[in-house]
Chain A
Amino acid sequence: MFDRYASRLYDFTARHKRFVQLVLIFLIIISLAALFFVKYESSMSEILPKNEVISRSIEFFRDSNIAGKVIVSLELTSPDKDQKDLLREIDLLAGSMDKSLFPAIAVGISDSSSANAIDKMFNNLPGMVSESEISQIDSWINVERVSQKLHDAYLQLLKPQGVFMNSMLRSDPLGLRMLVFEKLKALSSSTGYDVEIKEGHFISRDGRHAMLIANSAVPVTDSEGSKKLLDSLKNNLRKLPEYVSADIICVHEHTVSNERTIRRDINFISVVAAVVLILLYVFVIRDFSAVLIFFVPVMAILFSIVLSYFFLGKLSYWVIGLGSTVAGITIDYGTHVYFAARGRSDPSTFVKHVIKPVSFGAFTTIAIFIAFFFSKIEGYNQLAVFTIIAIILSTAISIFVLPHLIVNTTGKSHFADRVANKLENTNLSNGLTVLSWLFLTLALASFAAHVEFERDIKKIDGTEKNIIQAEERFHKTWGGEKTHAVFVVSSKNYEEALEMNEKIYSDAVQAIGAGNFTSIALLLPSEKTRKENSERWNRFWSEERKQRLRKLFLEEGRKYNFSENAFEPFFASLKVSRFDNTPLSSLNRGETDIRLFERFVQKTNDDYRLMSFFPDTKEYVDLLNEISNRYPNTYLVSETVLSDTLSKVVSADLRLMIWISAISVIVLTYMCFFNIRETLIALVPPVTGIVWLMGIMSLLGLSINVANMIAGVLAIGIASDFGIFMTYRGRFNNIQAGTVLAITLCTVTTLIGAGVLVFAKHPALSSVGVTMVIGVGAGFLSSIVVVPKLCELFVKGKDGRI
């Protein structure tokens, strides 16, 4: 039935070829015009699976200004210059940077703002001292401790710094403020960075580096904006004197570098592949009309862009890029039709003969991409729409338009014909090759099970070496290689967030220990806790206790020449304090730019976020995940969790897609032949492709990643086409339709394109190249050396042979 309708349609287009060609030209013009109305998106978020953990992590990084920070590390390269020169240069640099691109720039911590924040905390001491700390203070009120403290205070006052200690010692002779200071110290030690503050500037331990931290106005996903931002910054850096070198550390560098690497790779690949393909077609085919084969996928891609945008309402650059690569393989269909039609006075019989294998080859590839609709990755869904449209159109054009455009070359003996004849009549398939194939496939199958999914996204990051080296230099100087996982508490109500943060801190300390969990909870208690602490403080400082302490100070103070009213400021501060319910300042809420607690408290558009940090190990992540599950609006952001989730989700996706693809391919292949034996034979190349691909990847230590996963699927699609073509050839072996030459040429062209990709600098592109070469190569080999022999043994040919 399929053959009958396809033949009728072919005859119709043959009769009305002028009309069909005019319609095609008209559609091309319309589509070209429509291209100007298509809006492209550059966001990469669609390439990630729809998953709560992944979306939340991405949202966290997008909303927080962590990812948007730009850091410049300046280094003194001349031994003749000193820190003053360095600090002057970093100040000048900060002053010269474009404020529209860098709205907030810090070269150090503002002394006055830090001092004010610390002052404020000291003033809030009654609200910050916990029950256990009150017990601790109680244990200090005795002769030994007071005597020791007064002795220390006396010595301090005599030392150089004593000049500035006077009022502090009078107001805090017991050192109660140390309780707050210890908490502050714990926060600063959690950053993992090795920064010193000198003259209000961030300075490295060796004193030869200074650091500038800027907030960027450009999102890291905006590659054009990132380029502008980096150009502006690099212009500023060019003005630095020769004794100062600079390293830029920011995600924008990765965005721009990845794009630059891909563009360079694509340019290189395009030129090399185009030259080799042209040479191949010029010397092998030697027919100008063969150029039309190239135009088939080009037209299909053009139409597909317009139609996909019409159906989806949006289209990402990467979908077009990847989809076009996939659509590029539809050149194979044109090639098959071309070889069936060329050199025939009446090509219709030969073209009709290949309609079915070509169509079913396309159907199996479509079936594979139908599986992409079941993926949780939205980008894959878009890719499926784009690819399926392109494959359908490309196949239709190849079958119903291309044959009528091929110049009739009847009567001439071509090099291609001679090659075709030779290939058709050379039998590479025999018992030995089949046995060798079987042995190799079984051997590789044992390795195939061990191939792993790449969890580390950085492995497919194509950032240039100089940027990675700059980051290595940065970490060597400033530390911070180990990233911490983040426990995020999110709430629209600030007090609610503080309250939850306290509870989580308490649970987390029990789970992983106080030393491993850095939280602002102790410095920013909730209103409820502040009130409780204040009341406890007031109860503790009873008149009786104050009198006891006053007496101790008086008696012990005489030994060190302290006056009777030496510590009156301290006792004055102990007068019953009213609970201070004033909301915390914007500084502490992290609403402003680069501030003391910015790392721990952030205000986003919708809510407040309180962040605590802990070592990013699986054990801690698991323990804290349990805690997070108990509290709504809390979550973990961790590289470990993100990698694991990504790996799990994509692996599950991959498994589902493989099953759907496998079933679809088997069903469609069967529908092509309606014969189990022929179906099984036709499936040999795709099965070989899968087994060899995974086995060789495992042997070479390669892993599956988001990029080469699609390439793998594509390679299997091509291999399944080969299986159908060759089995079909086996069934009709009296018809010389140039199948072997066609699939050889298809393989050669695919291997040229993919082979060049192997040498791409970008690891994602390179992995795509390796995957395509192995998958398509294995599919081709098995279709040439295995399928013919199997057909010979098991397929009953239409000429009556078995």
Chain B
Amino acid sequence: MKINKIFFISCLFTCFLFLFASSTLTAGDEAADITEMLRRLGENVSAFKSLKTNFVQEKDLAIFQNKIVMKGRIYLQKPNRMAWHVDEPVKYSVVITDKSIRQWDEDTNRVQEIGLSGNPVFQNVLNQLTVWFSGDYFSLLKDYNVRILKKSPLSFEFTPKENNVAGKIIKNITIGLREDERYLQQIKILEISGDSTIIIFKDTVFDPPFDSLDFEVKRRV
């Protein structure tokens, strides 16, 4: 049942992630500017092969009594490997590869692995996450309208296009880049309901040496 639940959740997640699968430009020069900027950005960001970054995630959701602040680390290895380790408020890890998704949390202390074979939903999750974190923002132009909010440091707002199913939930997604434009500074997701999630990336290291445990879900956090 738990697997089913995760499968279901991931399915929906995938549907929503299709949101990120593109965007279009507004018009005229700005459109050309954005296209050019996203292409340049893609080139800059795609320069790394692996990445390690700390993050702080703030969830301001009506479902929770209080705002939740999470701290943890993301490890990314192109093309298809990502680890998401959270230290607080609860310890858990998610490792996604091209073959499977492994999850662990301290409360249950159980490792759960879901094979991607025969599981197109998770395959899509992986694809979309890879796009999002690896910086291939140019490909997002298909499904999103993109607006430049600020040129220095660079900041974009992605609004789901009319036929994009993500538009049912997401109002917009704002990404802010570091000064050197090599990676994300923060992502803010604003839902139609008014709920929001902000992820702030800190101490990003490109092409770091990895510990063999970095891509293990049951590592010591």
**Among B16, B68, B118, which residue has its beta carbon within 8 angstroms of that of A164?**
B16
The reply to whether A159 and B117 form a contact with Cβ atoms under 8 Å apart is: no
> How far does the alpha carbon of A181 sit from the alpha carbon of B119 in the complex, in Å?
13
A90: min CB distance to chain B, Å: 16
The reply to whether B21 and A158 form a contact with Cβ atoms under 8 Å apart is: no
The reply to whether A563 and B11 form a contact with Cβ atoms under 8 Å apart is: no
Q: Find chain B residues with CB under 8 A from A157 CB.
A: 59, 61, 63-64
Q: Find chain B residues with CB under 8 A from A177 CB.
A: 8
Interface status of A195 (Cβ within 8 A of chain B): yes
The reply to whether A156 and B70 form a contact with Cβ atoms under 8 Å apart is: no
> How far does the alpha carbon of A189 sit from the alpha carbon of B10 in the complex, in Å?
18
> How far does the alpha carbon of A181 sit from the alpha carbon of B10 in the complex, in Å?
12
The reply to whether B117 and A160 form a contact with Cβ atoms under 8 Å apart is: no
A584: min CB distance to chain B, Å: 20
A158: min CB distance to chain B, Å: 6
Interface status of B148 (Cβ within 8 A of chain A): no
Q: Find chain B residues with CB under 8 A from A450 CB.
A: none
The reply to whether B189 and A561 form a contact with Cβ atoms under 8 Å apart is: no
**Among A165, A199, A561, A565, which residue has its beta carbon within 8 angstroms of that of B62?**
A565
Interface status of A633 (Cβ within 8 A of chain B): no
Interface status of A196 (Cβ within 8 A of chain B): yes
Q: Find chain B residues with CB under 8 A from A162 CB.
A: 59
Q: Find chain B residues with CB under 8 A from A163 CB.
A: 189, 197
B22: min CB distance to chain A, Å: 10
A479: min CB distance to chain B, Å: 10
> How far does the alpha carbon of A168 sit from the alpha carbon of B170 in the complex, in Å?
13
Please tell me the size bucket of the interface on A. 35 or more
Interface status of A422 (Cβ within 8 A of chain B): no
The chain A residue with its CB closest to the CB of B121 is A197
Interface status of A169 (Cβ within 8 A of chain B): yes
Query: If A157-B59, A205-B117 touch, does A112 touch B5 (CB 8 Å cutoff)?
Result: no
Query: If A164-B13, A168-B12, A566-B63 touch, does A198 touch B164 (CB 8 Å cutoff)?
Result: no
Interface status of A178 (Cβ within 8 A of chain B): yes
Please tell me the size bucket of the interface on B. 35 or more
Query: If A159-B92, A178-B4, A196-B120 touch, does A170 touch B63 (CB 8 Å cutoff)?
Result: yes
A123: min CB distance to chain B, Å: 12
The reply to whether B64 and A151 form a contact with Cβ atoms under 8 Å apart is: no
Q: Find chain B residues with CB under 8 A from A168 CB.
A: 9, 12
> How far does the alpha carbon of A170 sit from the alpha carbon of B63 in the complex, in Å?
7
A299: min CB distance to chain B, Å: 66
Q: Find chain B residues with CB under 8 A from A567 CB.
A: 63
Interface status of B195 (Cβ within 8 A of chain A): yes
A463: min CB distance to chain B, Å: 31
Q: Which of A142-193 contact B (CB under 8 A)?
A: 151-152, 154-170, 175, 177-178, 181-182, 185, 189
Q: Which of B76-131 contact A (CB under 8 A)?
A: 84, 86, 89-90, 92, 94, 98, 103, 105, 107, 117-118, 120, 123-125, 127, 129
Q: Find chain B residues with CB under 8 A from A133 CB.
A: none
Q: Find chain A residues with CB under 8 A from B64 CB.
A: 157, 561-563, 566
> How far does the alpha carbon of A115 sit from the alpha carbon of B129 in the complex, in Å?
19
Q: Which of A45-69 contact B (CB under 8 A)?
A: none
Q: Which of B190-206 contact A (CB under 8 A)?
A: 191, 193, 195, 197
**Among B90, B120, B165, B197, which residue has its beta carbon within 8 angstroms of that of A112?**
B165
Q: Find chain A residues with CB under 8 A from B177 CB.
A: none
The reply to whether A166 and B195 form a contact with Cβ atoms under 8 Å apart is: yes
The chain B residue with its CB closest to the CB of A194 is B118
The chain A residue with its CB closest to the CB of B98 is A207
Q: Find chain A residues with CB under 8 A from B65 CB.
A: 558, 561-564
Interface status of B37 (Cβ within 8 A of chain A): no
The reply to whether A158 and B90 form a contact with Cβ atoms under 8 Å apart is: yes
Interface status of B17 (Cβ within 8 A of chain A): yes
The reply to whether A161 and B10 form a contact with Cβ atoms under 8 Å apart is: yes
Q: Find chain A residues with CB under 8 A from B1 CB.
A: 178
> How far does the alpha carbon of A205 sit from the alpha carbon of B84 in the complex, in Å?
25
Q: Find chain B residues with CB under 8 A from A161 CB.
A: 9-10, 13, 125
> How far does the alpha carbon of A182 sit from the alpha carbon of B4 in the complex, in Å?
8
Q: Find chain A residues with CB under 8 A from B84 CB.
A: 159-160
Q: Find chain A residues with CB under 8 A from B62 CB.
A: 170, 563, 565-566
The reply to whether A198 and B124 form a contact with Cβ atoms under 8 Å apart is: yes
The reply to whether A561 and B66 form a contact with Cβ atoms under 8 Å apart is: yes
**Among A111, A155, A178, A562, which residue has its beta carbon within 8 angstroms of that of B8?**
A178
11 contacts between A and B (CB under 8 A): A112-B165, A154-B90, A158-B86, A159-B92, A159-B94, A164-B12, A164-B17, A164-B169, A181-B8, A558-B65, A561-B68
Report B's interface with A, CB cutoff 8 A: 1-2, 4-5, 7-13, 15-18, 21, 59, 61-66, 68, 70, 84, 86, 89-90, 92, 94, 98, 103, 105, 107, 117-118, 120, 123-125, 127, 129, 163-165, 169, 189, 191, 193, 195, 197
Interface pairs A-B: 6 shortest CB-CB: A164-B16, A161-B13, A197-B120, A115-B165, A566-B63, A111-B18
